[in-house]
Each structure stands twice: as structure tokens, then as C-alpha cells.
Chain A
Amino acid sequence: MIRFDNVTKSYKGAMPALRDISLEMLKGEFVFLVGSSGSGKTTFLKLLLREELPDQGRIWVAGRDIGQLSQWRVPYLRRNLGCVFQDFRLLPNKTVAENVAFALEVIGRPRGQIKTQVTQVLELVGLGQKHERMPDELSGGEQQRVAIARAFVNRPLVLLADEPTGNLDPATSQGIMKLLDRINRTGTTVVMATHDVGIVDTMRRRVVELDRGHLVRDQARGVYGYAADLNSSSRGVPAVSVAAGRSAYDDDGAGEPITNRVAAVRARRGQR
């Protein structure tokens, strides 16, 4: 679904934001992107959206090399990528239903289709009763649900979430994570950049850790901290970062080697 081949990206006059990143995310995976501020998480997402172009390397989304896309095709790429942010980015002068419908209107969907899809997706995110509310009448968690509904209403292949729980309390965050998990179960790849240790540790999904632009960990069913298992990070990860030692969290052997994990995901897809 998503593949990075030796991707390097730097901004003018600054240290490279991403250095020689290679990784693959499969269809239906749920991936946490962790790392401190400035580690390159946002750049990673921007490259996926083709808001930025890599300096070196190639990025593949749904079988397309997005570096080769002509400018006018970029919008069509983005229709396959739903996006959720920490600050929701709802339109304050539109109702909940209008906010969600807007995403379909502006890509020229017919009115009848918009109506059914909006109703469906608002039901899915648990806002079936709040169609006509304005965003400022909703709680933060509800606003984020609207944002997720908007990102998901067009059934994208991938849902990108940049710290979607960053503004929410832990209980509300739990609800949002359940929702993202539910969306993931429909076969949508979810890539979530986060700082939330608790969420990463409880979900136990694949964790990709960036540190100052380097990929330092790629671990199936991982946890947040610098707690990589030496065996589980097998993809050209610098030794210094993996030498941090075995973590208490990993005692249950959850950090299985990545190659097995890929096989497991493939098997799971086969079952569906």
C-alpha cells in the first residue's frame, strides 16, 4: 500500500528531516509513527500527501510512484488518503453534516450519493443524532469524530492521522482510538503519528520510530519507548538505537520479527 525506498528529505538550511528511509506498510495495517518533536513524523505524512517531494528516493502509494505524478493528478492521489489532525480543521460555519458532505461536494460527487454516504459515516462515528449541530456546539472528541467522518466518508485506502488525540483527554482518546481501530478493521490502512505513550502501549500495533530523521525502530505489536528488541528491528536500523536493550514490555514476546509479521498480515488478509 505504502512503500518508501531510500527516501531522504531536507528543508533549506536545516538538518535533513528524513534520512534514507525505507519501509513498507501493507493494506489493512495499523501503524503508529512515533518519535520526539522534529523527528520527521510530519514530514513523513507530508511526503505521503505529496505536499512535499523527496530529495532522493521513491515513494509508492497504492502501486504508484507519487514522485512521478503530474501536478494535476495529485488531487486524485489525495482522494485515496484521508487525513485527520490534532486541531480537527472543521469549517466553523457549516453543520456537522455539511462539513462531512463538503468533502464529497468538492470532488464532484452526485447529491444523492453524498446524502447516503454522509448519513452512513456519521452513524459509523457515533454522531447519528448530531447532523445539524455546529462544530462549536460539540466536545473536542465529537469534533474529532466529525473530522474522522470527513476523512473517511470517501472510503480512502489509507487514513493518515497526525496526533489525532493530541488535544483530547485520555478517556476521549480511547473512544477515538476505538473508532480508528474500527475503521482499520474495514481494511483501511491507518497511519497515526502520536506522542501518546498510553495509546501505543495498549493498542500493541506496529510501531515505526523516527529519531532526527532516521528510522530507528520498526516493530510489530510494539510499544512507545526506546524499548526495541534487538531481533525485532531487522531493517538496517543503526545499531546504536537498538542497543538500548530489551524492555519490560517485551517480555511476552510480542515483538516478533518483522518478516514474520508481514507474513502474518498477508495471511490475515487471505482469510478475509
Chain B
Amino acid sequence: MGVSVDYVAKETATNLWRNRMMALAAILTVAVSLSLVGTALLLRQAVNRQISAWGHNVNVQIFMNADATTSQVANVRSMIKQTPQITNFTYLGHKASYAQAKKILAGDPAAIGVLTAQTTPTVFRVQLKDPAEAATVVSTFNSGVPGVYQATSPSQSIHVMQEVTNVLQIILLVIAIVLLVSSLVLILNAIRMAIFARRREVGVMKLVGATNWFIRVPFMLEGLVQGLLGAIVAVVIVLLSNIGVNYLINKYHVSLLGSTVLPTHDLLMTELLVVAVGVVVGVAGSSVAVRRFLDV
């Protein structure tokens, strides 16, 4: 079957142009929904990477009151030594703790200004045999040990962060799916209108013996192009937002979030997935339209 390439290309381009408003609506909806899909996927990858980076030294931090006495500190130190779940610990005195705080609060000079070495709480950093024990250890030191300001475990924060990102991700994906469905319907409608606009041509084509695929292909290609263009816009948006986030992380030296910078490979796979979904949506929408409205 000699479906000539330039004929199909010409037909598809003419159809898209004739129907450009409808096509634009479809393309933009695809773009928005796929941007959300891409963002949700990147977010999940970033959070997973960050969590596993933190997980390597899951520990408990025991913050002492800034004005804790030497004997109180010594007392806590011996308690730590007696706690069987703890394998290892380091103590950050006023100076070291202040230096650390300056790093973490690099983006917030006002907060640093308030702190001095003497007003910065000292910290015991404790490593555990099993990160799952963190909660028990934290509660032991939070039960009114003199001089202890607060014991915290990053695993708690990690847990909260995971929960939050999971919820966020689900919301993003639900919105994205709704938008994907609506973009599928928009593409379907655009193709249906294209078929209607060309019903004379289609009638003549059938009459003179054009093959079914010859009649269908330009319409299906039109849907594919709409999906693809939307996906390309989405790829650019996802890329830009990724660059933006990386720029912010670098600018403020948020080393804590350093691992959220994704390697090129992960980014590429996500972008490819976005393009694939766009193409699938386009082809699916136009296939349904062609099957239902193009009676060949």
C-alpha cells in the first residue's frame, strides 16, 4: 500500500492548521497534565534519594539546654554509654555546634545574628544499632532528663516528609489523570471535528477505493502530533522546574537537600516517559474518534 509520506504529512498539517483552536486546546491540556505527571515523578525520585542519603546515618540528636551545666552534660554522656541500642556518639560543644548552625542557617542571616557560640545548644549525635530503635531512644531522653532540651530523630522528620510527599504525589497524580482524560476527550473531539470537516473528501476517497488505512492515518497522525506537541511543552516545563529547583538549592547551599538534585539519567527517563504518555494519549484519542466517527 503506497501511502505516500508527503501526502500524509501535507494532509496532517492542513488538518491541524484548519482546526488550530481545537488543536491548541488539546495540546495545552496535554502539556499541563503531563507537566504534573513529570513533576510528581521527579518529586518522588528526589524524596527517595534524599531519604536514602539521610538514612545512612540515621541517628538521634540530643540537644542540651544552652545553659546546661557540666555535670548535667556528664550525666547525659554516661546515660548514653549505658543505653544498649547506642553504638557510637559524638558530642558537639558550643563552638562546633555554632559552626554547624551557621552552615544550616546559611540562607537566614538574621537567625545567625541572634546566635552566639554561648547561646547555641550543644548536641550529642548518637548512632544506633538499628534505626528502628530511634523512637525508644528519643522517648528515654525526652522523659525529663535534667539539662536536656529535646531529643529528636530525623527518622521522624523523614517519616513526616514521606507522608507529605506521598499525599502531594497522589494529589498531583489524580489531577494529572483527570487532565489526561480530559485531554484525551479534547483530542477525540478535535479529530471528530476534523473528520466532519473532511467528510466530502472521505466520501470520495471511499468511493474511488482508497484503503481504510490511507483514510485513517492522517487523522490518527493528527492526534499523535497533538499529544506529542503537548508532551514536548511538558518536557520543557519539567526541565525548567528541575533547573529552577537545582538553582535554588545551589544558591542557598542547602547541603541538607543536596541529594534532591537528580542525575541526568533519572531526568531523562522521566522525560521519555512523559513523551510516551503524550503519544499514547494522542493516539488513543484519535483512534477512538476514527473508530467511532470515520465509517470506512
Contact = CB atoms under 8 A, between A and B. Distances in A.
Interface of A: 49, 71-72, 75-81, 83, 89, 91-92, 102-103, 105-108, 150-151, 154
Interface of B: 1-4, 7, 200-201, 203-212, 214-215
Given A108-B1, A108-B3, A108-B4, A89 B212 contact: no
List the 4 closest A-B pairs by CB distance, nearest first: A108-B2, A79-B209, A78-B209, A106-B210
B208 A107 contact: yes
11 contacts: A72-B212, A81-B209, A89-B203, A91-B201, A105-B4, A106-B7, A106-B205, A106-B210, A107-B210, A108-B2, A154-B208
A78 B209 CA distance: 5
A78 B215 CA distance: 14
A102 B207 contact: no
Given A83-B208, A102-B208, 18 more contacts: A72-B211, A75-B212, A78-B207, A78-B208, A81-B209, A89-B200, A89-B204, A89-B207, A103-B208, A105-B4, A106-B215, A107-B208, A107-B210, A107-B211, A108-B3, A108-B4, A150-B204, A154-B208
A106 B208 contact: yes
Nearest to B214: A106
A76 B205 CA distance: 12
Given A108-B1, A108-B2, A75 B200 contact: no
A75 B207 CA distance: 8
B212 A77 contact: no
Contacts of A81: 209
A72 B214 CA distance: 11
Q: Is the interface of B mostly helix, strand, loop or mixed?
A: helix
A154 B214 CA distance: 17
Nearest to A81: B209
B222 to A, nearest CB: 17
Contact of B208 (A72, A92, A150): A150
Instruction: Give the residue among B3, B201, B211 with the most A Cβ atoms within 10 A.
Output: B211
A75 B204 contact: no
A79 B1 CA distance: 13
Contacts of A49: 207
B212 A91 contact: no
Given A108-B2, A108-B3, A103 B204 contact: yes
A190 B116 CA distance: 105
B78 to A, nearest CB: 87
| Residue of A76, A77, A106, A150 with highest tally of chain B CB at under 10 A | A106
A83 B210 CA distance: 14
A151 B203 CA distance: 13
Contacts of A77: 209
Given A106-B214, A108-B4, A108-B214, A91 B204 contact: yes
A246 to B, nearest CB: 41
A83 B206 CA distance: 11
Contacts of B207: 49, 78, 83, 89
Contacts of B212: 71-72, 75
Given A106-B214, A108-B4, A78 B206 contact: yes
